[in-house]
């Protein structure tokens, strides 16, 4: 059994309020960010690292309970906005509210995605129009319109980071539709970077492999979680499951000025599972 990238999204429990890093080390100081799906899993891992690096902004999600518990850990630096990324009206509101609160937007992290509610996974012989639409609306259409709605509010010289998946590169059972959506993001990073050259807005992709979150407990039979994780490790040359912070570190880099010479590219944060294929 194999899970890919941000299909593994977890709901965080309340924890202590975080403390930012030393002022001089903050790579995202004075940056305003919008992180979709920022209330849980990979997205909240990104939000925590952004906070530690000096960013402010908004986290976006559908579940009010996890939004509330997550934003408490980020103090006054972030606001929580309840929204459905498949709704264009909601996306418009997200960027309008963020801009009104902070006066600008520098970074957009299009993280929301994964298993769409009510959509089954399966082969091309099994997935019909309804399941197709739900999966593609969440993993592809929502990313396009997240960016489309963000652009009028973004600063020139800003950065957009899309969260992809190693499923864009590896054929995985029942995940061809999901993998196709994530592969499109790689093409978009190139095309959108060309589209926005005059504004110097950069587009890049971070593509994870399996990420260790409590959502395993939702998809795996009780008592089998550790066995599934151990099986996943067999396909990861690094010898471990990824952690949300692994992805967050790459996203911080792409959101910062340190990556100003990078545009239209993909960073694989997958423990070598794609590029070291003979290991698998």
What is the total residue count of the chain? Answer: 280
Taking a C-beta distance cutoff of 8 angstroms, is the pair 201, 154 a contact?
A: yes
Give dist(CA 40, CA 251) in Å, integer. Answer: 16
Instruction: Give the integer Cα–Cα distance in Å for 90 and 37.
Output: 13
3-state helix, strand, coil in the chain (%, to 5): 45, 15, 35
276 three-state secondary structure: coil
Specify the residue for token string 């000096």: 54
| Mean pLDDT across 196-212 | 95
Cα–Cα distance for residue pair 72/222, rounded to 1 Å? 31
pLDDT at 157: 98
Tens-place pLDDT, residues 124-140: 999 999 999 999 999 99
Q: Is the pLDDT of residue 206 over 90?
A: yes
Distances (CA, A) of 110 to 6, 233, 262: 12, 27, 17
Catalytically active residues are 178
CA torsion angle for 222, 225, 231, 237 (degrees, to 10)?
Answer: 170
Tokens of 21: 């890093």
What gap in Å lies between CA 126 and CA 120, rounded to an integer? 9
- Give CA–CA dist 43/86, Å, rounded: 17
The predicted model gives 105-119 an average pLDDT of 93
* pLDDT confidence band for 1 (50 / 70 / 90): very low
Q: Return the pLDDT at 152.
A: 98
Band (229; pLDDT cuts 50, 70, 90): confident
207 pLDDT band, cuts 50/70/90, is: very high
Residue with tokens 């009104």: 100
Q: How far is CA 183 from CA 8, 50, 165, 176, in A?
A: 18, 26, 8, 10
pLDDT of residue 235 exceeding 50, the answer is yes
Domains, the chain, ordered by start = 5-279 (3.40.50.720)
Phi-psi region for residue 149, left (φ > 0), alpha (ψ -120 to 50) or beta?
Answer: alpha
Q: Kindly state the helix (H) or strand (E) to which residue 64 belongs, with its residue range.
A: helix 64-73
């Amino acid at each position: 059994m194999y899970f890919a990238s941000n299909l593994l999204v977890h709901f965080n429990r309340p924890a202590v309020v975080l403390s930012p890093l030393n002022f001089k080390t903050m790579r995202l100081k004075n940056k305003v960010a919008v992180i979709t799906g920022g209330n849980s899993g990979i997205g909240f891992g990104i939000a925590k690292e952004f906070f530690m690096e000096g960013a402010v902004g908004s986290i976006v999600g559908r579940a009010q309970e996890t939004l509330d518990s997550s934003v408490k850990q980020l103090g006054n630096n972030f606001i929580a906005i309840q929204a459905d990324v498949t709704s264009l009206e909601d996306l418009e509101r997200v960027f309008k509210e963020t801009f009104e609160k902070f006066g600008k937007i520098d970074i957009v992290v299009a993280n929301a995605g994964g298993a769409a509610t009510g959509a089954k996974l399966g082969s091309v012989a099994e997935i019909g129009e309804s399941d197709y639409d739900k999966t593609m609306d969440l993993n592809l259409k929502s990313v396009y319109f997240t960016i489309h709605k963000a652009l009028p509010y973004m600063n020139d010289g800003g950065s957009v980071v899309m969260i992809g998946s190693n499923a864009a590169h590896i054929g995985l059972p029942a995940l061809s539709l999901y993998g196709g959506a994530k592969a499109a993001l790689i093409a978009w990073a190139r095309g959108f970077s060309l589209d926005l050259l005059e504004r110097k807005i950069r587009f890049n992709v971070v593509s994870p492999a399996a990420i260790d979150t409590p959502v395993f407990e939702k998809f795996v039979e009780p008592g089998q979680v550790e066995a599934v994780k151990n099986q996943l490790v067999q396909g990861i040359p690094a010898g471990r499951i990824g952690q949300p912070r692994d992805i967050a570190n790459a996203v911080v880099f792409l959101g910062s000025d340190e990556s100003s010479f990078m545009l239209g590219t993909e960073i694989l944060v997958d423990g070598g599972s794609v590029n070291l294929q003979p290991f698998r």
